[in-house]
Chains A and B, each alone.
Chain A
């Protein structure tokens, strides 16, 4: 049973370049989250999708960040142009969110993360 799959695992790029991170959620899950982990701020929620629709993007730092979920099995997080302060580990997580929020415990299943270094 495959978990959440993220790619690439590591990305080193130069400032100004475009970065695309990819995520395949667990099959059957209807909620997808992008988190960013840094030493200073810990794990921050960037964006949340429910049934492929972005519900909350209030955590997206600025217009340089964008995320899409074209179908239930794929999502991307894009940074354009990238800056050194974007260096972090980016996690994708998925869950099954029951209708009306009933039974929702908040348990998320995380991928192994994409470590981004912007030079």
Chain B
């Protein structure tokens, strides 16, 4: 029972262009949504989050959009940089429990 789904296993983008990573969820009780970034041989690190009462949160080059009616969120990275190449995990939170998607591998080509 996958409550958080990232349907694209990988994404390749040219440096300077926009990267859009997508995530769908099924449980309407989630109250926070987060994105984590993971480099090889390291643990995931927090990137950006959004409360379920908002529809957009921006932090520098990173913006997260939430569409509650569609149970969908997306992460926009603009402009994309080679250092952004990593695995991106979408996660949803309810109380203490953080449920992760399977991850999307982002490759930014220079």
Listed in ascending order, the chain A residues whose CB lies under 8 Å from chain B are 4, 31, 33, 35, 41-45, 48, 50, 55-56, 91, 93, 97, 101, 104-113
A–B Cβ pairs within 8 angstroms, 7 of them: A33-B98, A41-B102, A104-B96, A106-B32, A107-B46, A110-B43, A110-B44
| B97/A56 in contact, CB under 8 A | yes
Which of A55, A101, A112 sits near B42, CB closer than 8 Å?
A112
Tally of contacts, chain A with chain B, CB under 8 A: 63
How far, in whole Å, are A24 and B10 apart by their CA atoms in the complex?
A: 33
**8 Å CB contacts to A: which residues of B4-61?**
32, 34, 41-46, 49, 51
Interface band, chain B: 20 to 34
Q: How far is the CB of A56 from chain B (nearest CB, A)?
A: 7
A interface secondary structure, majority: strand
Listed in ascending order, the chain B residues whose CB lies under 8 Å from chain A are 32, 34, 41-46, 49, 51, 89, 91-93, 95-103
| A97/B45 in contact, CB under 8 A | no
How far, in whole Å, are A42 and B42 apart by their CA atoms in the complex?
A: 15
Say yes or no: A55-B96 contact (C-beta < 8 A), given A105-B32, A106-B49, A106-B91: yes
Nearest A residue to B43 via CB reads A110
Most chain A CB inside 10 Å of its own CB: which residue of B43, B93, B98, B100: B43
